[in-house]
Amino acid sequence: MQKSADPAPTSQKYRDRYYAASDHAGRAYCDFFGFWRSCGYRLCRRARGCRGDYIDCIEGRRNDVADRFDAARAHVRARIPKDAGGPERDAWLSEFCTATWIKRPKKAKS
């Protein structure tokens, strides 16, 4: 059986598939760190995994877990689905979190 070709990277279909897979990858980071344990969103605690806004979780807690990010990246990349197409594989392998993962300096109190 012939595999269908992936959409062109400039197409809307590619972007839709990329962003959907990017959401799954972002939630995988939150699940690795266990952010759901202290999440204010009840569905996350009930599901024992990220079901809410993973960007807010990462933004709020990244200073606490910045030293474990390399282990998280390896864990998330190992979870790439075997049958993932081009857009999905690109999203799981992207460094979308690492650019914002650097510890922010604490603001000096005046």
77 assigned to some structural domain: yes
Mean pLDDT of 65-75: 87
Question: What confidence score (pLDDT) does residue 1 get?
Answer: 45
Domain count, the chain: 1
In this structure, is residue 107 part of a structural domain? no
* Residue 110 placed within a domain: no
pLDDT(2) > 50: no
Of the pLDDT bands very low, low, confident and very high (cuts 50, 70, 90), residue 107 is low
Residue 29 lies in a domain: yes
Residue 84 lies in a domain: yes
Question: Is residue 1 domain-resident?
Answer: no
* Residues 32-58 pLDDT 10s: 999 888 888 889 889 998 888 888 888
Flag whether pLDDT at 100 surpasses 80.
no
Could you tell me the residue range of the domain that residue 31 belongs to? 12-97
pTM score: 0.75
Q: Which contacts qualify for 86-91: CB closer than 8 Å, 24 or more apart?
A: 86/6, 86/7, 86/14, 87/6, 87/7, 87/14, 87/15, 87/17, 87/18, 87/21, 88/17, 88/18, 88/21, 90/18, 90/21, 91/17, 91/18, 91/19, 91/20, 91/21, 91/22, 91/24, 91/25
| pLDDT at residue 99 greater than cutoff 60 | no
- If you average pLDDT over residues 26-30, what whole number do you get? 88
